[in-house]
Structure 1
Amino acid sequence: MPINRLSVAVMLSAFSVASYAAETVNISNWNGYIADDTLTNFTQATGVKATYDIHDSNEVLESKLMTGNTGYDVVSPSNHFLSRLIKAGAIQKLDRSQLPNWKNLDPVLMKKLETNDPGNQYGFPYMWGTAGIGYNVEKIKAIFGNTDVTRSWKMFFDEDTIKKLSTCGVAIIDNPTQILPITLNYLGLPHHSHEPADYKKAEEALLKIRPYIQYFHASKYISDLANGNICAVIGFNGDVVQAAASAKEAKNGIEIAYSIPEEGSTLWLDMVVMPKAAPHEKNAYAYMNYLLEPKVIANISNSIHYANPNSAADEFLTPAVKQDPAIYPPKSVMEKLFIVEDLPPAIARLATRLWTKLKTNT
C-alpha cells in the first residue's frame, strides 16, 4: 500500500520448461512491492509462468473486480476494502487444504484482521505497516530541545506545538482513511465512529491546525523529508524508512526517524485474495502457498522494507529489517494499534466531504 507506487503497468514473466508452457497465473499487485527474483523463483519451483500487472489504487482494483471478469487469479487489495469485496461477492472463500503454509501466519495479526474478514475466510495478509510521525531529528531538537514531542499526537494537534513546528515545514499524507481515525482516537472518540457528531469534532480539530500544514500529498513527503524541505509528517512507516535511507545514501547529514505516538495509531494490511472468476484456480493456490513460505516472504520483506505476517519468516529477515522498530514495532506498541476499517456509506461520504474541505481550506 504505502510504497511510492507509480501508475505504470508492467508484466514480469518467467518461462517454464516446455511441458508446463501452458501453465500461468495472473497477478495484480502494487508497484515496487515484490523482490526482483520472486516470480522467477516461483516459476522455477512450480513450472507456472507468472504474469504480473500493477494497480495504483484500491479504487481502480475494486472497479475491475466488480466487473466479475478481470482475468486475474490473485490480487492484493488493502484490508479495509476486503469487507466490501466480500459483500459484493467479488472474491471467493479460500480452501485452506490447498494452503498448507497457512500455519505460518501470525495469529495476532489474523485476529485483528477478523474486523474485516470474520473467520479469515477470504484472504491472508501480504505485508503490513503503520501510520505515524516521520521527523528530522536535528530540526526537532533545535526547536524543542529533544525529540520527546514525537511521542504524542499532541505534536500535531496542539496548536502552539504545531505552530512552532511549522517553521521548518509540516506535511500530512493525503489519506483520510488513516488521518481521520487517528484524529478521532486522539480526541478520545471511537477511531472508526459511525456518529456524524464525532466527525464534526474531528473536523474542528483538523481545521484548527490547517494553517500550519504546508501540504497534503500521497508521496511528496518522502523526498522532502530526505532533503530537509520539511521536518515532520504524518505518513506511512515504509515511506519514512525510505526517506531515511535516501538521506543516508545522499550523505547530506540529515537523520530521519519514525515514531508511533503513545495514544496509538492505524494498522493497515495489504491482502492476498482470489477473484470470484479466477481462470487458473489451481495455479492461484500454488502462488498463494508460495508466498506463505517463510524464506520467500522474508526475501520480499528484506527487499522492500515492509513487515510480513509470517511468524516463521523471522529467522530469515536481515537485522536491518527485523530490528528496526519502524518496521516491526515492539509488542507494547502493537497493542495500541487499531486496524483500518471500512465505513458505512453515509459516514464514508461525510468523511470524504470533510477531507475535501480540509485540503482546499474552504
Structure 2
Amino acid sequence: MTTERAYRYRFYPTPEQATLLARTFGCVRFVWNAVLRYRTDAFYQRQEKIGYHDASAFLTQLKKQSDTAFLTEVSSVPLQQCLRHQQTAFKHFFAKRARYPHFKSKKHRQSATFASSAFSYRNGQITLAKCREPLNIRWSRDLPSAPSTVTVSKDRAGRYFISCLCKVDTEALPITPKMVGIDLGLKDLFVTSEGQRVNNPRHTARYARKLARAQRQLSRKQKGSNNRAKARLKVAKCHAKIADTRRDHLHQLTRQIVNDNQVIAAESLQVKHLVKNRHLSKAISDVGWGELVRQLEYKAAWAGRQFIQIDRWYPSSKRCHGCGFVQEALPLDVRVWDCPSCGTQGIDRDLNAARNILHAGTALLAGAESCSKYRGALGN
C-alpha cells in the first residue's frame, strides 16, 4: 500500500537564507491575516462566503498595490499554499470539525510550504526558490523518494526544521496473536491488561526549576528590549526541551506496543474537557494522553494492526472483569476494591480497567456496534 509520510529534519540556514526565510515567513503571515480579515468581514457583515478563487484574486490585487508590493519579493508558491491551507481550515470549520481560523502572530511558530515547482531535490540536497545554495540539512535518515512538497518552519526557540512529504510503500508487520488493553493514568502513564506498568516520567517536573528561573528573569525585563527577547528565547528553549523529551519517550513506547500486539484497545478521552480541572490540568497536559493515542492510531494503521477506542462512558474501572458486576460509585482515591458479587478481593483499579478495555475492544471487533451492547451481553 502506498501512503504519504512526512519526514522532518533540522537544518541550519546561512545568514542569507535566514534573511530570505524571515521575509517569506512574514509575507505568508501577512497574506494569511489579510485574507482572513477579508473573508471574515464578507462572512459576518455581508453573509457571503469567499472561496479559494476569490481569495486568490484578492491576493493578486494586494501584489499590485504600492504599499504591499513587498509580496513580490518572495516566491509566489508559499503564498498560494497559504491560501489553500486557509481554505482547508474553513472547510473544517463549516463541517464543525474545528474552530474558526485564527490570526497568526510573529511571536509563534512560523512556516511556509513549497510545492515541487518552488524547490529542487538533486543528489540528496534541497534548494528552495530564490536561494543560491542548498539547505544545510542534518539527514538523520534517507528519504524514500523525492518529496512532493516541503514545509520549512521556525519554532519559538529559533530552530529551523524542514518537513518533506514523500510517497512510501508500506508493508504490514507479521501477524501476532497478542492483544492488549491500555488504561491511561497520571501516576502511571498507562497500565496494560498484562499487568505492565509504565511510570509517568513527569517531564515538566524535571525541568521545573530551570523553567521557573528563566520565567522569573523574563518577567524582570523591560518590554520591547533586546534583553527581554533573549530571556524569552531561553524560556522557549526550555519548553522545547520538555516537548522534545516527551515526544521522544512516547514514540519509543508506542512503537513497542504496535510491534508486539495485533489488537490494541484504549479508552477514548476528551482531554480538552479534562484539563478544565484546575487541580489536575497541569499534570494532564504534561502526560500527553492525546499524543499517545494519536501515535498509536497512525502507527497501527501503517503496520496493519487493529487499534480501537471504546466509549468514554464505559465503566472500565467500576466493572469487575471476572463477573461483570458494576459498582455504583468508585472515587478516585480508591485504588483497590473488593467485588461483592463474586467475592474477588484486592481488585486493582487500573489493571481491572485495562482488562475491561481489552474485553470491550475485542467485543467491538467481533461485531458489537457499541459498548452498550457489550454491557447488555454481560447482563448488566
TM-score normalised over the length of structure 2: 0.25
Q: Which has the larger radius of gyration?
A: 2
TM-score normalised over the length of structure 1: 0.26
Q: Identify which of structures 1 and 2 has the higher relative contact order when contacts are C-alpha pairs closer than 8 Å and 6+ apart.
A: 1
